[in-house]
C-alpha cells in the first residue's frame, strides 16, 4: 500500500502545493482542515480517492490525533496572520504546533515537517514572531527529528502579498506601505513545497532551514518591481510610524467589534513585524543544503500579475499595436 501523509492546513497557500507534489510522488494525501467542504479543490491533485480533505481543528487533541491515524509523515502548514478569538497566535503557532509534534511522536510518525517563518524569535517585537519561536521550541522538544522550515515572504499565483498590493493600485495614484526600507527575500511557493517534499521523503537532515529566494530587496523596491510588471505608475508612500500605528489600531478595533468578519488591512502586530528585516541569516541552513535552486521573482510574477494591467492579457498586443504605422 502507498504511504500516507497528513497535511494540517493542506488547502492553504503552501499546503496545496505540498499536497500536489506528494500526490505526484504516489503518496496518499490527507488534507486536514477546519472546513473540508471548502477544500474539495484538492481532490483532482491525484487519482480518485488519493487526495482527501478531512475535518480537523488543530486546537483539539482528539481531532489532531484522528487526522494522523496511520500516517507515515506529517506536515504542519497551519498559521495565522491575525490573532482573532480562539485562533490566537499562541493557540495556533505555539500550542497547535506543539500538539501536532507531541501526537506525532506518540503515533510513531516517521517524518515531521513544520512550517515556521523567518523572524521566529523569542525576543521579537511582534507577538507573531514570538509565538512562531515558541512553536519551534515545542516541536523540537516533542519531536527532535523534525525538519523546520522558515520561509521569507512566500509569493505565487494565490499569494496575499503581490496580489494584494497590485489590487490596491486600482484605487488611486498612491500606494501606501509601512516599513519601506525593511529587507525581504521573497521565495516562490513551489520552492517551499519542494523543501517540504525533501523533509517528507527523509532527504533533509533534522533542524531549522531558512528559505529565501535569490533576490533581497526593500519593501519599496518590491513594490516598484510589482508596478513594473503590472505596467502602472504609482507613488509608493511610506507611512510615518505614528500614522501607521494609529491606522493599525483602528483596524484592530474593527476586527474586535466585528469578530474578524471585516478583513483587516493592517494590524498593530504587523506594524511591529514590518520593522524587522526578513532575510536568511548568515550561516543558517538554506536551500543550498537541500540542493534546491530557488526561482527568481521575474521568472514567476508575469505569469499571474498580468491581470492587474490596464489591458490585462492584451497589454503586450496593445503596446505592439501602437508601433504600427498607418
Q: How many domains does the chain have?
A: 1
Range of 133's domain? 4-155+186-215+278-294
Q: What is the pLDDT of residues 55-77, one digit of tens each?
A: 999 999 999 999 999 999 999 99
Rounded Cα gap, residues 232 and 275, in angstroms:
27
Q: Does residue 31 lie within any of the structural domains?
A: yes
CA distance 128 to 99: 18
pLDDT at 265: 80
Q: Which residues of the chain have pLDDT under 50?
A: none
Taking residue 37's Cβ as centre, other Cβ atoms within 10 Å add up to 8
Examine residue 272 and state whether it is found in any structural domain, yes or no.
no
In a domain, 224, yes or no: no
Distance CA 225, CA 213 (A): 15
Asked if the structure places residue 248 within a domain, the reply is no
**55 within domain boundaries:** yes
Cα(57)–Cα(59) distance, integer angstroms:
5
Give domain status of residue 285, yes or no.
yes
Q: Is 285 helix (H, G, I), strand (E, B) or coil?
A: strand
Mind listing the pLDDT tens digit for each residue in 103-144?
A: 999 999 999 999 999 999 999 999 999 999 999 999 999 999
pTM of the model: 0.94
Contact of 117 with 78, CB cutoff 8 Å: no
Q: Do 189 and 156 form a contact (C-beta atoms < 8 A)?
A: yes
Does 197 reside within a domain?
yes
Residue 51 burial by Cβ neighbours in a 10 Å radius (0-12, 13-18, 19+): buried
**The pLDDT value given to residue 259:** 75
Distance of alpha carbon 10 from alpha carbon 43, whole angstroms: 11
Grid coordinates 493592517 are at which residue? 266
In a domain, 148, yes or no: yes
* Cell digits of residue 201: 521523503
- The pLDDT score that the predictor gives to residue 31 is 98
Q: Can you give the pLDDT at residue 262?
A: 74
For residue 23, what is its C-alpha cell?
500526490
Largest CA distance in the chain: 76
CATH number for the domain spanning 287: value is: 3.40.50.720
Q: Cβ–Cβ contacts within 10 Å for residue 2, how many?
A: 10
120 and 132 in contact (C-beta within 8 Å)? yes
Residues with Cβ within 8 Å of 194's Cβ and at least 6 positions away in sequence, in order, are 21, 290, 292
CB-CB contact of 211 with 278 (8 Å): no
In whole angstroms, how large is the CA radius of gyration of the chain? 20
Q: Are 188 and 195 in contact (CB under 8 A)?
A: no
Per-residue pLDDT at 256: 79
Amino acid at each position: 500500500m502507498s504511504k500516507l501523509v497528513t497535511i494540517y492546513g493542506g488547502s492553504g497557500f503552501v499546503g496545496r502545493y505540498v499536497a500536489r507534489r506528494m500526490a505526484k510522488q504516489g503518496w496518499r494525501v490527507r488534507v486536514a482542515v477546519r472546513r473540508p467542504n471548502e477544500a474539495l479543490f484538492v481532490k483532482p491533485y491525484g487519482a480518485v480517492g488519493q487526495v482527501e480533505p478531512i475535518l480537523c481543528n488543530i486546537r483539539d487533541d482528539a481531532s489532531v490525533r484522528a487526522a494522523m491515524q496511520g500516517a507515515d509523515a506529517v506536515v504542519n502548514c497551519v498559521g495565522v496572520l491575525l490573532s482573532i478569538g480562539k485562533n490566537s497566535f499562541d493557540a495556533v503557532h505555539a500550542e497547535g504546533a506543539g500538539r501536532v509534534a507531541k501526537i506525532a511522536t506518540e503515533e510513531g510518525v516517521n517524518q515531521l515537517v513544520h512550517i515556521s517563518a523567518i523572524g521566529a524569535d523569542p525576543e521579537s517585537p511582534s507577538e507573531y514572531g514570538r509565538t512562531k519561536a515558541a512553536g519551534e521550541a515545542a516541536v523540537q522538544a516533542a519531536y527532535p527529528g523534525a525538519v523546520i522550515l522558515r520561509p521569507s515572504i512566500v509569493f505565487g499565483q494565490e499569494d496575499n502579498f503581490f496580489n494584494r498590493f497590485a489590487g490596491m493600485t486600482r484605487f488611486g495614484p498612491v500606494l501606501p506601505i509601512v516599513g519601506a526600507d525593511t529587507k525581504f527575500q521573497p521565495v516562490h511557493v513551489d520552492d517551499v513545497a519542494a523543501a517540504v517534499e525533501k523533509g517528507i521523503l527523509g532527504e533533509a537532515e533534522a533542524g531549522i532551514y531558512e528559505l529565501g529566494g535569490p533576490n533581497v530587496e526593500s519593501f519599496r523596491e518590491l513594490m516598484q518591481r510589482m508596478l513594473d510588471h503590472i505596467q502602472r505608475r504609482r507613488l509608493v508612500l511610506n507611512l510615518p510610524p505614528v500614522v501607521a500605528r494609529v491606522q493599525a489600531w483602528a483596524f484592530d478595533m474593527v476586527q474586535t467589534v466585528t469578530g474578524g468578519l471585516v478583513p483587516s488591512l493592517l494590524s498593530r502586530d504587523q506594524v511591529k513585524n514590518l520593522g524587522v528585516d526578513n532575510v536568511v541569516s548568515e550561516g543558517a541552513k538554506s536551500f543550498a543544503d537541500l540542493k534546491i535552486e530557488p526561482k527568481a521573482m521575474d521568472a514567476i510574477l508575469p505569469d499571474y500579475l498580468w491581470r492587474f494591467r490596464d489591458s490585462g492579457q492584451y497589454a503586450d498586443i496593445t503596446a505592439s499595436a501602437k508601433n504600427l504605422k498607418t
